[in-house]
Structure 1
Amino acid sequence: MIIGVPKEIKNNENRVAVTPAGITEFRKHGHTVYVQTDAGKGSGFTDSQYTEAGAIILSSIEEVYAIAEMIIKVKEPIASEYNLIKENQLLFTYFHFASSEPLTQAMIARKAICLAYETVEKSDRSLPLLIPMSEVAGRMAVQEGAKYLEKPMGGFGILLGGVAGVKPANVLVLGGGIVGTQAAKMAAGLGANVTIADINLQRLRYLEDIMPANVDTVISNEYNIRDLIKSTNLIIGGVLIPGAKAPSLITRDMLKLMKPGTVMVDVAIDQGGCFETSHATTHEDPIYEVDGVVHYCVANMPGAVPYTSTLALTNATLPYALLLADKGWQAACQSNEELKKGLNIVKGNIVFKGVSDAWKLPYTDVNSIF
């Protein structure tokens, strides 16, 4: 198969979808890989490393899209890429369709095969291609939250871990999944008082067992959230409904219950956000304020630590990408239920229910497309 790796062009996105090590593996399987020049530069990989591994370097993104049967990316295509996508071309990347109707409509119109990292799902309901970036984003959420709690950054002016004789900050983590678990570990490690809220009592029992003494757990409901936010300094939103729009757990009217300078980090922003007042921001312009509350809603948080993120992501994606290249998308998805669940839009048809529900568009059963 002919594989294309374009340079990511989303704001401050420095990750790359395939490393030189990945190129070597594709070449061992007999595939041809074209990489756009400087695609790996932000992650610390040079064009010469790619060519030594067996890739062919192309100078423009247009050339990469034009020649490739499968495009492997990190982030969803942006508007300037839409017209480069060919009918029947396979795109393997993060899409998060439920947060963007224009992207959804564009991919329907292009009649491409859109296989989304975030909905590839194992039999145990885990999301193997979302987990590594959720780990990075969960840990980063605490770093960023601690920074924006500083007074010059607009925050309340509290040190997350406090000092002798001064109480630490209170951190509320919404969601006890991968993001929430990593965020709680980081915040607890810095000495904050942490509360994890989740609707799954079994998950809370597990977290209660493994977390240090400065982490508490509570059932997530509106009453408890309204009560907790009155004394919380940092709120991290990490709820996820795979492939669907995230629920709004904190509404606009709740902001008035918070202390001025409270910071909210919405890690669920790729799926529409779990705060009603959230809208996507960039690394270049990461925050805004609503009713005295600082919102950090960067949609590609792991892009700020591209070396770590690229290696973590490609460790997970490469086996699936090789399967797609070796068998073609149809045979690969027919033989692998995990990959089949990654199909979101195929030749103009929405085949993932969460996407059709998000925009009230027609749904086609995925099994009918083979």
Structure 2
Amino acid sequence: MRIGVPKEIKNHEYRVGLTPASCRELVARGHSVCVEHNAGSGIGFSDQDYRDAGASIAREATEIFAEAELLVKVKEPQPHECKLLGAGQLLFTYLHLAPDPEQAKGLLASGVAAIAYETITDDHGNLPCLAPMSEVAGRLAPQAGAHHLEKAAGGRGVLLGGVPGVSPAEVCVLGGGIVGYNAARIAAGMGASVTVYDRSPARLRWLDSQFQGRVICRYATQSAIDESVRESDLVIGAVLIPGASAPKLVRRALLGEMRAGSVLVDVAIDQGGCFETSKPTTHQNPTYVVDGIIHYCVANMPGAVARTATLALNNATLPFTLAMADRGLQALRDDPHLRNGLNIFRGNVCHPAVADSLGMTFLPAEKALNG
């Protein structure tokens, strides 16, 4: 199969869909890989590294989109990239379609088969291709929050870990999944006073056993969340409903009851965000202020540590890339977990949560593939 790797063009996005090592695996199985010029240069992968792995180099993205049967990216295709996609192609990347109807319309019009990393499942009900970026973003969130709590960055002037004789910052983590666990772990490690909220008693028990009293684990009623947000210096939004829009857990009215200069970090922004006042930002302009509260809502947080993130992502996605390269659409028919990643197929929405969030008609992936 002809596999194409275009350079990412989102603001300050340096990750790349395939590493040279991944290319080598594909080439060894008889596939051809074409990588756009300088696609990995921002994180230390030169064109020569890709040539040494058996890939060819294209000067322009248009060459990649025109020739590839399977396109492997990191972030969702931007509007002009959607116009370069064609019927019969496979697109393998993060999509996050629920809050992005324009992207959905572009993909539907293209006739492409779009497989989203974030909705692929495994035998345990986990999301194996989302997990590594959730780990990265979760570990970055307290770091970003700590920086923006500094007075020079517009914050309250609070040190996350405090010092002897001065209380540490109060950190509230909404959601105890992979993002929330990693965020709580790092924030507690930095010395903050951390409370994590979740609605699964089983998950709360697991978190409690992991943290052994270093983090408070509370059931997420709206009253408990409101109380904690009012008292927190840093609130980290880490809620995920696979494929669907994130629930709005912090209302705008609550901001006026928070301490001025407190920080909200919305890791759920890819799915629309879990704060009512959230809107996507970039690494170039990461924050804005509403009612005296700093909002950090960067939609590609792992791009800040792009080399680590790319390596972690490829570890998770390569088996699926190899399967599709070897068997094409048959790989989706054979594997129900990979099939759960099929969001768009030949003008149809094939994931129920995506269809529900967008208000569009749902066609089951199995029916679409075998129709």
TMscore range, shorter length:
over 0.9
| Partner-residue secondary structure (3-state), 2:114 | strand
Aligned to 2:52: 52
* CA distance in 2 between partners of 1:206 and 1:52 (Å): 45
- Measure how far apart 1:290 and its partner are: 0.4
Aligned to 1:226: 226
Aligned to 2:191: 191
| Partner-residue secondary structure (3-state), 1:285 | coil
Residue 330 of structure 2 aligns with an amino acid whose one-letter code is: A
- 1:216 equivalenced with 2:222 (yes/no): no
TM-score (norm 2): 0.99
Residue 23 of structure 2 aligns with an amino acid whose one-letter code is: I
Q: How does 1:337-352 map to 2 (within 5 A)?
A: 337-352=336-351
Residue 130 of structure 2 aligns with an amino acid whose one-letter code is: L
Residue 344 of structure 1 aligns with an amino acid whose one-letter code is: N
Contact 1:188–1:212, Cα closer than 8 Å, also in 2 = no
* CA distance in 1 between partners of 2:41 and 2:213 (Å): 42
* CA distance in 1 between partners of 2:6 and 2:228 (Å): 45
* CA distance in 2 between partners of 1:98 and 1:222 (Å): 24
* CA distance in 1 between partners of 2:4 and 2:366 (Å): 27
Q: How does 1:94-109 map to 2 (within 5 A)?
A: 94-109=94-109
- 1:161 equivalenced with 2:166 (yes/no): no
Q: How does 1:66-81 map to 2 (within 5 A)?
A: 66-81=66-81
* CA distance in 1 between partners of 2:65 and 2:314 (Å): 20
- Measure how far apart 1:213 and its partner are: 3.0
Residue 333 of structure 2 aligns with an amino acid whose one-letter code is: Q
Residue 141 of structure 2 aligns with an amino acid whose one-letter code is: A
* CA distance in 1 between partners of 2:265 and 2:212 (Å): 22
Q: How does 1:310-325 map to 2 (within 5 A)?
A: 310-325=310-325
Residue 355 of structure 1 aligns with an amino acid whose one-letter code is: V
Residue 356 of structure 1 aligns with an amino acid whose one-letter code is: A
Contact 1:137–1:302, Cα closer than 8 Å, also in 2 = yes
- Provide the identity percentage: 50
* CA distance in 1 between partners of 2:121 and 2:268 (Å): 18
- Measure how far apart 1:289 and its partner are: 0.4
Aligned to 2:293: 293
- Measure how far apart 1:365 and its partner are: 1.6
* CA distance in 1 between partners of 2:205 and 2:354 (Å): 32
* CA distance in 1 between partners of 2:320 and 2:87 (Å): 22
Q: Name structure 2 gaps, 5 residues minimum.
A: none
Aligned to 1:366: 365
Aligned to 1:334: 333
* CA distance in 2 between partners of 1:215 and 1:168 (Å): 13
Aligned to 2:182: 182
Q: Which runs of 4+ in 1 moved over 4 A?
A: none
| Partner-residue secondary structure (3-state), 1:284 | coil
| Partner-residue secondary structure (3-state), 1:97 | coil
- Measure how far apart 1:354 and its partner are: 1.0
- Measure how far apart 1:82 and its partner are: 1.5
| Partner-residue secondary structure (3-state), 2:231 | coil
| Partner-residue secondary structure (3-state), 2:7 | coil
Listed one character per residue, the Cα deviations across residues 107-151 of structure 1 (whole Å, up to 9, x for unaligned) are: 011110000000001121100000000000000001100000001
| Partner-residue secondary structure (3-state), 1:122 | coil
* CA distance in 1 between partners of 2:292 and 2:126 (Å): 37
* CA distance in 2 between partners of 1:345 and 1:82 (Å): 13
Aligned to 1:244: 244
Listed one character per residue, the Cα deviations across residues 84-103 of structure 1 (whole Å, up to 9, x for unaligned) are: 11112100000000020100
Residue 155 of structure 1 aligns with an amino acid whose one-letter code is: G
Listed one character per residue, the Cα deviations across residues 12-34 of structure 1 (whole Å, up to 9, x for unaligned) are: 00000100101110011100000
Q: Name structure 1 gaps, 5 residues minimum.
A: none
Contact 2:99–2:358, Cα closer than 8 Å, also in 1 = no
* CA distance in 2 between partners of 1:38 and 1:192 (Å): 41
- Measure how far apart 1:299 and its partner are: 0.2
Count of aligned pairs:
369
Contact 1:192–1:214, Cα closer than 8 Å, also in 2 = no
* CA distance in 1 between partners of 2:238 and 2:347 (Å): 31
* CA distance in 2 between partners of 1:295 and 1:62 (Å): 36
Residue 355 of structure 2 aligns with an amino acid whose one-letter code is: S
* CA distance in 2 between partners of 1:230 and 1:318 (Å): 43
Deviates more, 1:205-214 or 1:244-253: 205-214
* CA distance in 1 between partners of 2:302 and 2:210 (Å): 25
* CA distance in 2 between partners of 1:234 and 1:26 (Å): 44
Residue 293 of structure 1 aligns with an amino acid whose one-letter code is: I
- Measure how far apart 1:4 and its partner are: 0.1
Aligned-residue CA RMSD (Å): 0.7
Residue 128 of structure 1 aligns with an amino acid whose one-letter code is: P
- Measure how far apart 1:212 and its partner are: 4.5
Contact 1:230–1:257, Cα closer than 8 Å, also in 2 = yes
* CA distance in 2 between partners of 1:84 and 1:333 (Å): 23
Contact 1:23–1:55, Cα closer than 8 Å, also in 2 = yes
- Measure how far apart 1:344 and its partner are: 0.4
